[in-house]
Chains A and B, each alone.
Chain A
Amino acid sequence: MKLITAIIKPFKLDDVKAALETFGVKGMTVSEASGFGRQKGHTEVYRGAEYKVDVVPKIRLEVLVEDEDAEEVIDVVVKAAQTGKIGDGKVWSTSVDTVVRVRTGETGAEAL
């Protein structure tokens, strides 16, 4: 199994969620995150004094999928989250050893 983690722009969450649901993903975890990539943050001005805010708000989205779906899910997320502008985010996958559904005790693919 794979854990797909995506860092995306907050306003793209609905699009990505809808695309993943259409693909057949049954669950996901969404959390608010903040960080920066190459674009760094933004500048704010208070009474003429500039403040650099180097971390910007992001959404962190996590989905557990079976190995064979991983590539395609990444593709779906990238397509849905893309604006073409700097700061669109990143998607990566990591291998997962065990998954257990807390309610029933099912493991592996059955637990997804």
Chain B
Amino acid sequence: MDKIDTGSTAWMIAATALVLLMTPGLAFFYGGMTRAKSVLNMMMMSFVSMITVTVLWVLFGHSLAFDAAGNETVNKFVGGLDAWGLQSLITTATSDEGGMPSLTFSAFQLTFAIITVALISGAIADRAKFGAWVVFGGLWATLVYFPVAHWVWGGGWLTELGIEDFAGGTVVHINAGAAALALALVLGKRKGWPKEPMRPHNLPYVLLGAALLWFGWFGFNAGSELAVDGTAALAFINTQIAAAVAAGAWLLVEKLRDGHATSLGAASGAVAGLVAITPACGFVDPWAAVLLGVLAGAACAYAVGLKYKFGYDDSLDVVGVHLVGGVIGAVALGFLARYPFLDGQEQGVLYGEHGWRQLGLQVLGPVVVGLYSFVVSYILGKVIDMTMGFRISEEDEVNGIDIAAHAESAYDLAPSHSGTASSISAPVSDIKKVEADA
């Protein structure tokens, strides 16, 4: 193995764990926003992403995203297959002069793939067949995430063009946001939306989830430098600045518009700020992080209302927060990037001679990735819907998907009167299945 930088490697292992924690954090963030009768399913959609994507990552995911071997033309669009099973990574190191074991890099990137898939699930709360979601998640990771990660980070055609995405504004947030919009359209509105109230059932969960996301995001952004240096420090502080400022901006919009600064607004604003700073965090000055926070917090606070205007049921606002926030960050990067630690980098409009060209690239990335993700997701969703069915029955939806999909309910608050579980007669496996009337 090549030389290993122990400091960087130690940080990257910690950062990897931080990013993985974001997915359970997302489960709480999303779970709290659903109704009590479907919180488990919402959280399970995040948890099962960890399972599916991990398996695919080992088999061929890392390879498709980061393996540079193979035909040069093909390699512009998708990686090779030399790293299948991760076998070839065991004794190698990533980066030439003192890097980290390639397996550490692989694990770090795996956690990104996981949360990107999980993010999509927020658009289809309460109504997607669990099996259909698992199939979709696996196919989407294979056909969309792995190739797009290759385009932007793995040496693919967008890398060659010179597009910049420090920690995944385009690869993660725009990618997931566009897929979320496609799935919301394929599955249709929840029964009763938008007339029936579908209030979040547990805002403390939402705050807990947002807090875990915020915490994990330091690994997401500062870890994306893949080293311990000035850029990592810049990414770290910018992450904090944008999150806090955006949360404040969202609260201010709410106070002025609706009369109350809400807890859901604080949580949403923090996430919007984190999304927007993600592509730019290692490239811009702290004052620019403040500006990005203001922009993202205020714009996303308005963007979440789009679904009522256009009539698509993006249940938990994946489009309004991740797609819109991601686009803001990716494009603003074209204006604000100064690259304090990188010489010879094409700076943004504010600093560079050829800033407008870079800005053009920063617009092209979101458009291309957004369109690709939307189209493939829409087709995948439709195919799944026509074959195995993507949506649960109306009866199951009204009763709550938790019991239908998982034979569990989240809360047992009044067991003494409920009588719902009066006796345990035998293990489930011993009970003969009673055929329901067709």
Question: Residues of A with Cβ closer than 8 Å to B?
Answer: 44-53
Q: How far is the CB of A48 from chain B (nearest CB, A)?
A: 5
Of B300-308, B356-364, B391-399, the one with at least 4 CB within 8 A of chain A: B300-308
Are B197's CB and A48's CB within 8 A?
A: no
Q: How far is the CB of B374 from chain A (nearest CB, A)?
A: 23
Q: How far is the CB of B324 from chain A (nearest CB, A)?
A: 13
Are B305's CB and A49's CB within 8 A?
A: yes
Chain A residue numbers with a CB within 8 Å of B194 are 49
Are A44's CB and B305's CB within 8 A?
A: no
Question: Is the CB of B355 closer than 8 A to any CB of chain A?
Answer: no
For the complex, what is the distance from the CA of A53 to the CA of B198, rounded to whole Å?
11
For the complex, what is the distance from the CA of A2 to the CA of B268, rounded to whole Å?
54
How many residues of B sit at the interface, in one of the four size bands?
Answer: 10 to 19
Question: Is the CB of B18 closer than 8 A to any CB of chain A?
Answer: no
Q: How far is the CB of B192 from chain A (nearest CB, A)?
A: 13
Query: Which residue of B259, B260, B302, B308 contacts A49 across the interface (Cβ within 8 Å)?
Result: B308
Question: Is the CB of B352 closer than 8 A to any CB of chain A?
Answer: no
Are B199's CB and A46's CB within 8 A?
A: yes
Are B260's CB and A51's CB within 8 A?
A: no
Chain B residue numbers with a CB within 8 Å of A50 are 258
Chain B residue numbers with a CB within 8 Å of A47 are 264-265, 268, 301, 304-305, 317
Q: How far is the CB of B308 from chain A (nearest CB, A)?
A: 7
Question: Is the CB of B85 closer than 8 A to any CB of chain A?
Answer: no
Contact A45 to B305, CB < 8 A, known contacts A51-B197, A52-B197: no
Chain B residue numbers with a CB within 8 Å of A52 are 197
Q: How far is the CB of B394 from chain A (nearest CB, A)?
A: 23
Chain A residue numbers with a CB within 8 Å of B302 are 48
Which among A45, A46, A53 has the greatest number of chain B C-beta atoms within 10 A? Answer: A46
Which among A49, A51, A52 has the greatest number of chain B C-beta atoms within 10 A? Answer: A49
Question: Residues of B with Cβ closer than 8 Å to A?
Answer: 194, 197, 199-200, 254, 257-260, 262, 264-265, 268, 301-302, 304-305, 308, 317
Q: How far is the CB of A78 from chain B (nearest CB, A)?
A: 32
Which among A45, A48, A50, A52 has the greatest number of chain B C-beta atoms within 10 A? Answer: A48
For the complex, what is the distance from the CA of A49 to the CA of B260, rounded to whole Å?
12
Are B199's CB and A44's CB within 8 A?
A: yes
Are B199's CB and A48's CB within 8 A?
A: no
Are A48's CB and B200's CB within 8 A?
A: no
Q: How far is the CB of B123 from chain A (nearest CB, A)?
A: 14
Task: Given contacts A48-B305, A51-B197, list 20 more A-B pairs with CB under 8 A.
Answer: A44-B199, A45-B254, A45-B259, A45-B260, A45-B262, A46-B199, A46-B262, A46-B264, A47-B265, A47-B268, A47-B301, A47-B305, A47-B317, A48-B301, A49-B194, A49-B305, A49-B308, A50-B258, A52-B197, A53-B197
For the complex, what is the distance from the CA of A47 to the CA of B33, rounded to whole Å?
11
A-B contacts, 26 listed (Cβ < 8 Å):
A44-B199, A45-B254, A45-B258, A45-B259, A45-B260, A45-B262, A46-B199, A46-B200, A46-B262, A46-B264, A47-B265, A47-B268, A47-B301, A47-B304, A47-B305, A47-B317, A48-B254, A48-B257, A48-B258, A48-B301, A48-B304, A48-B305, A49-B194, A49-B308, A51-B197, A51-B199
Q: How far is the CB of B260 from chain A (nearest CB, A)?
A: 6
Chain A residue numbers with a CB within 8 Å of B304 are 47-48
Q: How far is the CB of B268 from chain A (nearest CB, A)?
A: 6
For the complex, what is the distance from the CA of A50 to the CA of B197, rounded to whole Å?
9
Using CB atoms, name the residue of chain B closest to A52: B197
For the complex, what is the distance from the CA of A49 to the CA of B199, rounded to whole Å?
10
For the complex, what is the distance from the CA of A50 to the CA of B301, rounded to whole Å?
14
Which among B254, B258, B317 has the greatest number of chain A C-beta atoms within 10 A? Answer: B258
Which 6 pairs show the lowest CB-CB distances between chains A and B? A51-B197, A47-B304, A45-B258, A48-B305, A46-B264, A51-B199
Q: How far is the CB of B269 from chain A (nearest CB, A)?
A: 10
Chain B residue numbers with a CB within 8 Å of A44 are 199
Q: How far is the CB of A46 from chain B (nearest CB, A)?
A: 5
For the complex, what is the distance from the CA of A51 to the CA of B317, rounded to whole Å?
17
Using CB atoms, name the residue of chain B closest to A46: B264
For the complex, what is the distance from the CA of A53 to the CA of B196, rounded to whole Å?
11
For the complex, what is the distance from the CA of A47 to the CA of B253, rounded to whole Å?
11
For the complex, what is the distance from the CA of A42 to the CA of B262, rounded to whole Å?
15
For the complex, what is the distance from the CA of A51 to the CA of B199, rounded to whole Å?
8
For the complex, what is the distance from the CA of A45 to the CA of B308, rounded to whole Å?
14
Q: How far is the CB of B263 from chain A (nearest CB, A)?
A: 10
Which among A46, A47, A51 has the greatest number of chain B C-beta atoms within 10 A? Answer: A47
Using CB atoms, name the residue of chain A closest to B33: A46
Q: How far is the CB of A79 from chain B (nearest CB, A)?
A: 34
Chain A residue numbers with a CB within 8 Å of B308 are 49
Chain B residue numbers with a CB within 8 Å of A48 are 254, 257-258, 301-302, 304-305
For the complex, what is the distance from the CA of A48 to the CA of B298, rounded to whole Å?
12
